[in-house]
Amino acid sequence: MAQCPGFNDTDILQAISDMDDDKLHDCDFGVVKMSKDGVVQAVNNAEVELSGLSQSAFIDKNFFTQVAPCTNNYMVAEKYRKLGELDETIAYVFTYRMKPTPVHLRMLKSQAFESQYLLVERSEP
């Protein structure tokens, strides 16, 4: 059974793709698993706690337009819409439905995997 990799691990996309959805809860950072069109397939407990939203607020909803419209911009959503590979980490501030929360986002996708991922790690103040 795969263990949760570290947020900055080089091979994190392969490792996290090998994990079943329940195992994602072992990660100490937020994990949002999405279809290629941005519909949330799974979310872990760390992301639910960070966002203050329930699991049902995520599942089967478009992450960029229904869950976190503050990410529906050129810095986040647009990068997923482009063809090709994506593995980029950026500093970001979540503002939708919560007080401004500084985070690091790691955006991951590959043609080799059916799902794409958004990893969320709270930034230290």
pTM of the model: 0.94
pLDDT of residue 95: 79
Q: How far apart are the C-alpha atoms of 41 and 21, rounded to whole Å?
A: 9
The token pair that represents 124 in the structure block: 């230290």
In a domain, 9, yes or no: no
9-22 burial string, b = 16+ CB within 10 Å, else e?
A: eeebbeebbebeee
In a domain, 104, yes or no: yes
In a domain, 38, yes or no: yes
Residue 3 reports pLDDT greater than 90: no
In a domain, 17, yes or no: no
In a domain, 3, yes or no: no
Return the CATH number at 84: 3.30.450.20
In a domain, 5, yes or no: no
**Into how many domains does the chain fold?**
1
pLDDT digits (tens, 9 = 90+) for 80-121: 998 789 999 999 998 766 678 899 999 999 999 999 999 999
